[in-house]
Amino acid sequence: MHKVNLLPRLRNYGVRSLLYMLLTVGAVVALFPFAWMLLTSLKTYGEHSTRVFWPKALTTLPYSDLPRGREIVVDLYPPAEEWGGAPSSALPLLEGRILIDRVTAPVQEQLTREGLSPPFWIMILAADTDSEVEGYDTFYYNVNTRVIQQETVRVNWRAKRFLFFHFIQKENWKAPYFLSAPDMERWGPQLVIRDNDPDHFAVRVTWQPVTMFFFNFITGWVESDFGRYMWNSIRLTLIQLVGVVTFSTLAAYAFARMEFPGKNGIFAVFLATLMLPEVVTLVPNFSIVIQLDRFFERVLGIENAWLNNWTALTVPFMASAFSIFLLRQFFAQIPKDLHDAALIDGCGHLRFLLQVVLPLSKAPLMSIILLNGIGSWNAFLWPLIVTTRNTWRPITVGLSKFIEESAAEVHLMMAGATITIIPILILYFFTQKQFTEGIATTGLKG
Amino acid sequence: MPGSTRGTDGFKASKGMSAQKRREALQAYLFLAPATILLFVFGILPVGYAFFISLHQWRIQRGAFTGLRNYGRLLGSPLNLLLLAAGIGMLIGAYYVWRSIATQPAGWRTRLRIALAALLIIGGLTLVLGMDRALAAAAEERMTMGYLLSVLRTVFYSAGTVPFQLILAFLLANLLFQKIRGRSLFRMLYFLPYITPTVATAAVWTTVFEPRRGLLNTILMQIFHMSESNLPRWIFDSTGIVPLMGQWLGLSLPDWVAASPILSGPSLAMIAVCIYNIWVFTGYNTVIFLAGLGAIPYELYEAARIDGAGRWQLLRHVTLPLVSPTTYFLTMMGVIGTFKAINHIYIMTQMVGLGGPQDSTTTAAIFIFKQFREGNRWGVASAAALTLLGIILLLTWIQDRMAEGRVHYA
């Protein structure tokens, strides 16, 4: 008896494991770009360009046995004579030195390669902040009188976070050594200026594992104003959602529950707009928005009422024929008796809609919110065209600008991509059931 | 407005009711007003406005009225167009003759029909290929500004994505439809590429395809031991896939194959874009297929099994026909999607110039965008956009006709 049953069972197991294997292959294909993105976003520039697969940040090496942080006062004095090779406008006004006597393992590796070992000095430069580009300063590293490296560094004085590690030298300060800058910046000490006085800095020298780990994200965030973009995207999505939900419910209710002449005709026109690809209406819509902008400026005296403002970014998408269609289908299913009973109680359409229909339609409303929310967050082409400044530029456009600027720094690019994806991922993981089911039954992106 | 319509249409009821109905109609118009105004201003008006723009020389500001000249600049000489249309028409005709043969009994008529169909196919192909020459010539003289070429690339793009993502999705959906654990987990994972922002995922894929440090070429090099000089250059390569395959296989293809935009096929850069597209939409298609499979009544399978149908027959004669509305919907969405795709091509070709290299990923939508943004030729862009809309509507109609009798609504 047992022998007879064993074979089909074994075959069944074989089939099932093949099934799971194929499904897993599918999942791996769907996910590997994300894994690549995360891995790359944790690498240093050197790791990516030497095709290292597993970033050092994901090992324990950099975080074990970290030196203790301390707060020190750096005396500043006029620059030494050897600085003379650089153009005078770029001269640091003052300079000081910080002694580093212990380092992390990756930095030790670097130092060994250069034939160095701690202790060494870090130059700290109090530079001229009134240069051509505000907030940026050009530094010249020179040996004796020869300029050997030039670098533009962002100095954020207001935040008092002046990080500067490139210039490392032994006690004999006329012989500077240049370590691989990105690695040093990441694994080296973080210098935070607590207080800057005319003649001294109070500097906090720390080795923070969190900063080391998320270094690319922090750099990307600071370099590309991601905070602003993120906030813009959140604002825009919320504004658009309020508009879409309000206008769609009203219109859908009218189509589902009210009688008026021309109902079918108007509904057909609404549905026809679903066929229009964005690229067809791109040019005329841009022209319309420009003219609206001019009209508001001339007649109402409001400058930039449309361009570079939330209006141009959200208002055209507040009427979504698809959302109206979806809601109408649902509203039409609500029993008519309910409405008649409410009418007898003297309840008008608006009150009926707000107090009876809406509480019953949580599921389709959720679908609409998710679809339009994702659509708004992911929107790219239109925001790219109607924004020229950062004031309302959403994160997708910000990311594309960042990609343009950091084309060579793939690790930063991937950190930016991760930042853009994370809010959507969080939303998706919490609502994925409504989501996949909503899309399966409706079948469209917002 | 409600006052003037008293006594017509829906207002034939008694006077008391009519006042109430009028009130209701007024309220309905109020409810509809915001959505209608917005849809009119940003959805319907733009189509007419685009036509108006397309009739002018329009560079940010309105210029001279030029009539249909913009369309002429896009589509080339009327003769070329006519040839193309005739070629396509003959192909469609051949298809219909072919279909009518299937229903006819065997005999000399059938043979005649087969000969006719073959003739039509040859004729159509010749015309399209002849067009191909005309295209190349026109592109050289910059007559058509490459619009027809961009439409051709869009066709390549559709053909290189839609069938693959449909087949893969159908397989995955069938696997997921078995009694397995973790179905919702798999579904969630497959869906991930679709909901994440295009800009971000396209950026990731750009680095995956990057020829020197990218993941794909690193794998080819380190695991498959390909030499660095042989590695495909993906987004940077504008060579057609046919000559490229010839190179890899060591065949020497005649020059006119590589010179012909149709015969040389999509460029390797376009293939990279296609792969990205398949990656994004396979999961989405899977989820929709899954819903379609769930809608098939279980009794049908039972009945077929009692009649002695095997697994394959169940798939062929029950699942495939009954899932055909979903297939049809996804084909439509896929094809239209490729016709309006801009975002990911914009990001993926940012390094080589939008629509690059050498315009080899400039699809019709990208063409419009480039005319609009880089060329500031709004008139031309609008003409191209309306032509594209026409093509999309035509495609929808053709697909609708082809689907007739093949899509089974259970």
In this complex, is the C-beta atom of B213 within 8 Å of any C-beta atom belonging to chain A? Answer: yes
Average pLDDT over residues B333-353: 87
Mean of the per-residue pLDDT values for chain A? 76
Instruction: Please give the pLDDT value at position A345.
Output: 78
Dist CA A326 CA A444 (whole Å):
11
A163-177, A299-313, B192-206: segment of lowest average pLDDT: A163-177
Instruction: Please give the pLDDT value at position B7.
Output: 40
A107-121, A173-187, A194-208, B232-246: segment of lowest average pLDDT: A173-187
Pick from B192, B326, B399 the residue to mutate for testing the A interface (most A CBs within 10 Å).
Answer: B192
Pick from A237, A279, A403 the residue to mutate for testing the B interface (most B CBs within 10 Å).
Answer: A279
ipTM of the complex: 0.82
Average pLDDT over residues A113-117: 68
Is the bond preceding residue B357 a cis peptide, omega within 30 degrees? yes
Percentage of chain B exceeding pLDDT 90: 12
Contact by Cβ (8 Å): B371, B379: no
pLDDT, greater one: A112 or A21? A21
Instruction: Please give the pLDDT value at position A143.
Output: 36
Average pLDDT over residues B1-29: 60
Instruction: Please give the pLDDT value at position A172.
Output: 40
Percentage of chain B exceeding pLDDT 70: 85
Q: Which ranges in A303-409 belong to alpha helices (H)?
A: 310-314, 321-331, 336-344, 349-352, 358-360, 362-378, 381-386, 395-405
pLDDT, greater one: A228 or B9? A228
Amino acid, res. B143: M
Q: Summarize pLDDT for A124-138 with one digit per residue, the tens.
A: 665 544 444 444 444
Which among B202, B365, B191 is positioned nearest to B275, based on CA atoms?
Answer: B202
Polymer length in residues for chain A: 446
Three-state secondary structure of chain B: CCCCCCCCCCCCCCHHHHHHHHHHHHHHHHHHHHHHHHHHHHHHHHHHHHHHHHCEEEECEEEEECCCHHHHHHHCCHHHHHHHHHHHHHHHHHHHHHHHHHHCCCCHHHHHHHHHHHHHHHHHHHHHHHHHHHHHHHHHCCCCCCHHHHHHHHHHHHHHHHHHHHHHHHHHHHHHHCCCCCHHHHHHHHHHHHHCCHHHHHHHHHHHHCCCCCHHHHHHHHCCCCCHHHCCCHHHCCCEHHHHHHHHHCCCCCHHHHHCCCCCCCEHHHHHHHHHHHHHHHHHHHHHHHHHHHCCCHHHHHHHHHCCCCHHHHHHHHHHHHCHHHHHHHHHHHHHHHHHCCHHHHHHCCCCCCCCCCCCCCCHHHHHHHHHHCCCCHHHHHHHHHHHHHHHHHHHHHHHHHHCCCCCCC
Instruction: Please give the pLDDT value at position B203.
Output: 92
Average pLDDT over residues A194-202: 66
Average pLDDT over residues A164-176: 39
Report how many Cβ contacts below 8 Å link chain A to chain B: 282
Instruction: Please give the pLDDT value at position A165.
Output: 39
Q: Summarize pLDDT for B253-295 with one digit per residue, the tens.
A: 777 777 777 778 888 899 999 999 999 999 889 988 888 888 8
Chain A, residues 123-182, CB within 8 A of chain B, namely none
Contact B38 A407 (CB under 8 A): no
- Rounded-to-10 torsion of CA A387, A393, A395, A398: 60
The residue in chain B having the minimum alpha-carbon distance to the alpha carbon of residue A397 is B199
Q: What is the largest CA-CA distance in chain A?
A: 98
The residue in chain A having the minimum alpha-carbon distance to the alpha carbon of residue B49 is A284
Chain B, residues 275-294, CB within 8 A of chain A, namely 279, 282-284, 287-288, 290-291
SS3 state of residue A99: strand
Write down the pTM of the prediction: 0.83
Contact B186 A417 (CB under 8 A): no
In this complex, is the C-beta atom of B376 within 8 Å of any C-beta atom belonging to chain A? Answer: no
pLDDT, greater one: A6 or A327? A327
pLDDT, greater one: A117 or A319? A319
In this complex, is the C-beta atom of B43 within 8 Å of any C-beta atom belonging to chain A? Answer: yes
SS3 state of residue A348: coil
pLDDT-derived band at A439, boundaries 50, 70, 90 = low
Listed as own residue / partner, the contacts of A302-305 with beta carbons closer than 8 Å and 24 or more positions apart are none
Q: Summarize pLDDT for A205-233 with one digit per residue, the tens.
A: 778 888 888 888 888 887 788 888 999 99
Chain A, residues 190-249, CB within 8 A of chain B, namely 246-248
- Using the predicted structure, report yes or no on whether residue A169 has a pLDDT greater than 50: no
Q: Summarize pLDDT for A382-409 with one digit per residue, the tens.
A: 999 888 888 889 999 999 988 888 777 8
pLDDT, greater one: B117 or B236? B236
In this complex, is the C-beta atom of B192 within 8 Å of any C-beta atom belonging to chain A? Answer: yes
pLDDT-derived band at A159, boundaries 50, 70, 90 = very low
Mean of the per-residue pLDDT values for chain B? 81
Instruction: Please give the pLDDT value at position A89.
Output: 44
- Using the predicted structure, report yes or no on whether residue B102 has a pLDDT greater than 80: no
- Using the predicted structure, report yes or no on whether residue A62 has a pLDDT greater than 70: yes
Which among A323, A430, A435 is positioned nearest to B287, based on CA atoms?
Answer: A435
Instruction: Please give the pLDDT value at position B166.
Output: 93
A138 forms beta bridges with: A152
Which among A445, A381, A226, A421 is positioned nearest to B354, based on CA atoms?
Answer: A381
Instruction: Please give the pLDDT value at position B376.
Output: 84
- Using the predicted structure, report yes or no on whether residue A281 has a pLDDT greater than 50: yes
Backbone φ and ψ of A369, nearest 5°: -60, -45
pLDDT-derived band at A37, boundaries 50, 70, 90 = very high
